[in-house]
Amino acid sequence: MASTNRSSTPSSRDSKSKKEGQGAAARLGSEDDFVRVESLPRQDGDYDPLPPSGTLERIEAEKRLVRKLDMRVLPTIVLIFIMNYIDRNGITTARLKGMEQDLGISDVQYNTVIAILFVSYCPAQVPSNMILNYISRPSLYIGICVVAWGVTSALTGITKDYGGILACRIFIGLPEAAFYPGAVYLLSRWYTKKELAFRSAILYAGLLISNAFGALMAAGILSNMEGVRGIRAWRWLFFIEGAITVFIGLHSMWLLPDYPHNTRWISADERRLAQARLSEDAGEADKDNAEDSPMKGLKMAVKDVKVWIFAVMTVAQLLGLSFVQFFPTLTQTLGFSTTVSLLLAAPPWIVASAICCLNAWHADKTGERFFHIAGWWWGVILGFIISLSTASVAARYVSMFFMACGYVGFAMTLVWVSNALPRPPAKRAAAIGIVNGMGNLGNLIGSYTWKSEWGPGYHQSMAISLAALVFSTALAVVIRVMLIRENKKMDDDDKAIMEGANRERIEAAAQLEGITVQEALERRRKYRNLY
């Protein structure tokens, strides 16, 4: 039976290397309270050491694992996210076909209906991510939440008045809170920091595609279902979209993974490899220790100033991008019919979806974060300036492409949070929940900044959004400077590298890789923040 400690396995290391490693480990044990562990408990039974990192065998094994994950996980979460935003924004297209008149709601009440979702959606994200980190079957948790919001969305179609639709919007926000921050956190438990941006972008492309596909679906339903079985077309919109979501949610319960240590549709060797590659990525095992409870993770996140800067930055960013809730209304201001307006709403989001994936792919290749996020906000600012400067229909439609591409940057915001706050998972889960939960207050505020009396130009709305994006850019600069300083501190001070490091997670990383704790410590020394 092979030992998990590489120094005791048949290898090419000579006795001199062993003695040097033991001496270094002993020194670290006295200085930093880290000791070398000769024997650690097994996981998944007996196993041989993994192929060394960087070897052809290891690279091929990781490629097979990532390919298996990509083929199963990514299509599932993209489908869910498409339906997430179609269900959430169905109300914006239903408005074009008489919903306000049938329910007897005013313009101010409509804005409240848009905003009220975020009253439940925002605060629920933190406890939801804490639950997700605590339970062992996230596939069931997320799947149940998808079914719940699909049912609630369908029930929106039977509402009779303002109070009914308000109640539906409140209750759809609760299960929806589990998905996006939960999906990003789940991806961070499987993909390394150099893989996460691209996968998260594919996930977020589901949102962007939903704006295109949702508009096309709505155009078909609203133009062909009016009066079918005596039911208004906007009600059919909610019935059909909700039913599709329920169907996808039921299937996601077995398609989605759980965590690397307990997912049943990969082998024991693949489970170990999945854990080892994340350990190598950050120099520590991606696991919570016994004392890392969800509440402790929340406290750690609350005490980290970067979390709050990220959160305020996201509030400003989403306020600047809040036009998404009114995009069909903006395309209607170009002067075309309802069906043509909905068709015109699709191309900007299709372009944004493609750019989103390309941007994230390049971000993973380079390891750069700031310009791949903030640079796209500047494109939105340019779009606002074009729209504010001219009444030309063609120019205003081009500006909508710039505006849609602003979400390319937002697609990587939670990835940056995950990269900047990698361990322990309990802290990362809480931080993602705080940033996205608090950040969506920007959408809530934005619900009231696109008033119908400011149309068709919406100059005041665009001015508010422009200012918000400038402020979010300034905060992104602050985060970048903080991370650069932390990296410089690690470059200059060897002990600074071990600040926040955890002995148990480093020992677990050594076990997973089949190496000495000293070798794991050396890997930890190579860790740097992405900025």
pLDDT at 40 (0 to 100): 39
- Looking at residue 456, its pLDDT comes to 78
Q: In this structure, is the dihedral angle defined by the CA atoms of residues 170, 172, 174 and 180, taken in order, positive or negative?
A: negative
Higher pLDDT, 500 or 209: 209
State the pLDDT confidence band at 421, using cuts at 50, 70 and 90.
Answer: confident
Q: Which residue has the higher pLDDT, 76 or 296?
A: 76
Binned at pLDDT 50, 70 and 90, residue 305 comes out as very high
**Alpha carbon distance 252, 254 (integer Å):** 5
Counting residues of the chain whose pLDDT is more than 90, the rounded percentage is: 24
Average pLDDT of 522-527? 65
- Residue 376 has a pLDDT of 92
Output 309 or 57, whichever has higher pLDDT: 309
Mean pLDDT: which of 4-8, 95-99, 467-471 is highest? 467-471
Identify the residue whose tokens are 């890789």. Answer: 513
Asked whether 429 and 132 are in contact (CB, 8 A), the reply is yes
**35 exposure class (CB count in 10 Å sphere: 0-12, 13-18, 19+):** middle
pLDDT at 8: 37
> Which of 12-16, 74-78, 273-277, 297-301 comes out lowest in average pLDDT?
12-16
| Band (21; pLDDT cuts 50, 70, 90) | very low
**Is the pLDDT assigned to residue 150 strictly greater than 80?**
yes
- pLDDT, one tens digit per residue, over 312-357 is 999 999 999 988 877 877 887 787 887 787 788 888 888 998 999 8
The DSSP element (H or E) to which 360 belongs, if any, is: helix 346-366
pLDDT of residue 471: 96
Q: Say if residue 32's pLDDT is above 80.
A: no
Work out the mean pLDDT of the chain and round it to a whole number: 80
Q: What pLDDT score does 253 carry?
A: 93
Q: What mean pLDDT comes out for the span 26-41?
A: 36
Name the least confident of 63-77, 129-143, 159-173, 452-466.
452-466
H helices of 7-137, in order, are: 15-32, 56-94, 99-103, 107-134
Segment 215-237, tens digit of pLDDT: 778 888 888 888 888 899 889 99
Q: Residue 27: its pLDDT value, please? A: 34
Does residue 496 surpass a pLDDT of 80?
A: no
What is the pLDDT at residue 156?
92
For range 192-210, the mean pLDDT: 83
The mean pLDDT of 128-143, rounded to a whole number, is 90
Residue 6's pLDDT band, with cuts at 50, 70 and 90, is: very low
Tens of pLDDT, residues 483-493: 888 888 776 66
- Using a 10 angstrom Cβ sphere, with 0-12 exposed, 13-18 middle and 19 or more buried, the burial of residue 476 is buried
